[in-house]
Amino acid sequence: MSRAPSEHEMPTQARMDLRAARARRARVAKRIGVFVAIALVLVIMLFPFYWMILTSLRTQVDNTSPVPVWFFQPTLENYRNVIAENNFLRFTWNSFVIAALSTGIGLVLGLPAAYSIARYKQNGLALAILVARLTPYITYLVPWYIAFRALGLIDTFLALTMTHLIVGMPLIIWIMISFFEEVPIELEQAAYVDGASKLGTFLRIVLPLSMPGVVAASILAFIFSWNQFLFSLVLSGPNTKPVPVAVFNFISYGSIDFGGLGAAAVLITLPVIVLTLLIQRYIVSGLTMGAVKG
């Protein structure tokens, strides 16, 4: 490819054809290999989800068959049972309230902090939030439990919202720092010249310009609160139990209803997947605390 071959090494037409055919065949083989490899990766990634859905649509007899039943008449009976018999709507509502409240408060506290870190280069504060990300969640749980118990706050939305704030707020701050950094400082300076206050400038100019980031950060914080298990496991009770804990208890007591388990798993995961599709660009950036830009 790099140099023109000299006369004496120039192959005959036949040899050139042969070589071209061989190269073409190698290319086709490689393309098929790549295609098969990609398909295999996808199948492995999707299989547990596929199995979850199959389990949710099968009867208990089919689910406990020693040989997996791949083809069957799907039934919605499991969903009906989970929703009707297990207070599922109540748990879903609890999850929703905790996730919405903690995300809302996380925004109120986190947005100004992120703006401040971006505008005044407060790297120490950014580092503190990173350390919070390093600390195992369970470290907070023993002191929290003792404190909440003393205050009579176990099994209250207040306690769960406060603890879920630790999940959402750092995410919000971390994502929003880079959004706020991108707002041109000239816009803010122009506002100051017109007599706007710093708070007014932040609320009326910077924030509206960063709306896509706010939406992404809110959804991510909501998803993480929705998925949170450890805090809720210890601090929730009959009044506030969110779905993940409810589903976990579901298997701890009594015989396992496979179909019901599958249906519950599908029902918890579905909202998360829908939300993920809305903000897919920001998921990895959020999960890596900004180490990877979306």
Partner 1 sequence: MKRAMEFFDRHAALLFPLPALLAIVLLIVGPVLANLVISMYGWSIGRAPAFIGLDNFVEALTSRRFWNGVRNTLYFTGLAVPIQLVLGMGIAVLFHRNFPGKGFVRTIMLLPMVATPVAIALIWALMFDPSLGVLNYFLESLGLPRSLWVADSSIVIPSLVMVDVWQWTPMVALILLAALQGVPQEYYEAAEIDGASGLQAFRHITLPSVYGAIIVALILRSIDALKTFDLIYVITGGGPGTASETLNVYAFRAGFEFFRAGYAASLLIFLLFLVLGIAIFLNLLRTRSR
For partner 1, the binding residues in 12-31 under the rule CB under 8 A are none
Which of 99, 154, 162, 171 is in the footprint of partner 1 by CB under 8 A?
A: 162
Sketch the per residue contact string, 90 through 119, with partner 1: x for CB under 8 A, - otherwise: ------------------xxx-xx-xxx-x
Taking contact as CB under 8 A, which single stretch among the options 11-19, 76-84, 194-202, 207-215 is the one that binds partner 1? 194-202
For tokens 């707002």, the residue is 183
Nearer to partner 1 by Cβ, of 76 and 292: the residue is 292
Near partner 1 in 199-238, by CB under 8 A: 199-200, 202, 223, 226-227, 229-230, 234
Residue list 114-133, contact with partner 1 (CB under 8 A): 115-117, 119-120, 122, 125, 128-129, 132
User: Judged by CB, which is closer to partner 1: 90, or 234?
Assistant: 234
CA-CA-CA-CA torsion sign (91, 92, 95, 100): negative
Count of residues that bind partner 1 according to CB under 8 A? 96
* Beta-sheet strands, E only, within the chain: none
175 binds partner 1 (CB under 8 A): no
User: Which residue's CB is nearer to partner 1, number 77 or number 275?
Assistant: 275
Tokens in use for 177? 């720092």
Instruction: Pick the closest to residue 188 from 175, 172, 203, 173 (CA basis).
Output: 203
Give the pair of three-digit tokens for residue 49: 């989800």
In degrees, to the nearest 5, what angle opens at C-alpha 19 toward C-alphas 14 and 24?
125
* CA distances in angstroms from 286 to 28, 50, 104, 140, 196, listed in the order given: 39, 26, 17, 22, 32
Is the CB of residue 175 less than 8 Å from the CB of residue 221?
A: no
Q: Does 249 bind partner 1 (CB under 8 A)?
A: no
CB 49 → partner 1: shortest distance, Å? 7
Residue number with CB closer to partner 1 (110 or 213): 110
d(CA 257, CA 251): 8
Tell the smallest beta-carbon distance from residue 78 to partner 1 (Å).
13
> Measured between alpha carbons, how far is 207 from 204 in angstroms, rounded to an integer?
6
